[in-house]
Structure 1
Amino acid sequence: MTIQIGDRIPEVVLKYIDDGVQAIDTPTLFDGSKVVLFAVPGAFTPTCSERHLPGFIERFDRFRELGVEVACMAVNDPFVMQAWGESLGVPKGLKLLSDGNADLTRAMGLEMDASGYGMGIRCKRFALYAEDGVVKHLFVEAPGEFKVSSAEHVLEALGG
């Protein structure tokens, strides 16, 4: 079942690079904070690299002014996420999280089968806003679309 507004973010461990591979569990990431988590089907893929992540980079300071942390997640390994972030100049503080085994993706019911493209199980393109670990806004894209999970749309929903 797909996660819904009012649900708690499932408890899962994600990975990221910071002086080596680090682990962060979702309670640490979300509890006591306002967080936008957006997910992409894959680092270095066209829409993800040309529009989705760049939109959040461009508007990162606006989210921070609203007291909102920003994190990007993909079903890629943490080394790929780090290299992708470096290639696009991701600002310090915008977290690039690896859900390498799709654990959080599956726990939220947001997986998609991209085997036809040689990519296996991936995450649907989405954005969510959570306060203290509870989903307040959820924007899941229709297959092949990029509209409701954009930084602009999320900021509009947050009144920013």
Structure 2
Amino acid sequence: MALSAGDKIPDVTLRTPTEDGPKPVQTATVLGSGTVVLFGVPGAFTPACSDTHLPGFVLRADELKAKGVDTVACVSVNDAFVLDAWAKARNADGAVLMLADGNAEFAAAAGLEMDGSKFGLGTRSRRFAAVVTDGVVQWIGVEEVAGTVDVSGVESVLAQL
């Protein structure tokens, strides 16, 4: 069953890029305190993810913070090295916490995995965005159509805050 309002964020180990290389982090720790906007993407550098989804959150990070958001985080089924390169390419460093879900463990635990094998991608995360307060989902928007950024875009999130 997919993650929904009222659910606790699954606690799994992800990796985040740092200056010293990938660092393991627990989702209960990095997503479990304060108000967090978490958005998930199928993959770094893919068209909708790279051209629309991530840039929206980077460009409007100050608006999110002004509405009480403590952390903006992106989870993707990629390794931390790819997420580091993607953050640098899209000027997300400092604005968005990048979380690598290399084995799709978070996506599976959240019930948000998708089969991207017909595109050569294997198991990936569905595109989504959520508002999380102290580790509990307050709102979540999951895209029904691949390649779209409607209910999971920054505008939808801002409307929920």
- State which of 85, 94, 109 in structure 1 corresponds to 2:111: 109
Deviations 1:59-102 (A, max 9, x none): 00111122311001100000000000100111414101100000
Q: Does 1:14 align with 2:17?
A: no
- State which of 71, 74, 88 in structure 2 corresponds to 1:72: 74
Conserved? CA contact 2:9–2:32, under 8 Å: no
Paired residue type of 1:21: P
Q: 1:31 & 1:117 partners in 2: Cα distance?
A: 33
- State which of 137, 149, 154 in structure 1 corresponds to 2:139: 137
Paired residue type of 1:55: G
Q: Does 1:2 align with 2:5?
A: no
Q: Which residue of 2 aligns with 1:32?
A: 33
Q: 2:24 & 2:11 partners in 1: Cα distance?
A: 13
User: Cα distance, 1:31 vs. partner?
Assistant: 2.2
SS in 2 for 1:79: helix
Q: 1:137 & 1:10 partners in 2: Cα distance?
A: 15
Provide the alpha-carbon RMSD of the alignment.
0.9
Conserved? CA contact 2:40–2:76, under 8 Å: yes
Structure 1 runs (4+) greater than 6 angstroms displaced: none
Matches within 5 A, 1:149-160: 149-158=152-161
Q: 1:84 & 1:91 partners in 2: Cα distance?
A: 9
SS in 1 for 2:40: strand
5+ long unaligned stretches in structure 2? none
Give the length in aligned residue pairs.
Answer: 158
SS in 1 for 2:10: coil
Deviations 1:45-69 (A, max 9, x none): 0111110000001100111122311
TM-score, normalised to structure 2, is: 0.95
5+ long unaligned stretches in structure 1? none
TM-score, normalised to structure 1, is: 0.95
User: Cα distance, 1:30 vs. partner?
Assistant: 2.1
Q: Does 1:53 align with 2:72?
A: no
Paired residue type of 1:149: S
Paired residue type of 1:12: V
User: Cα distance, 1:29 vs. partner?
Assistant: 1.0
SS in 1 for 2:86: helix
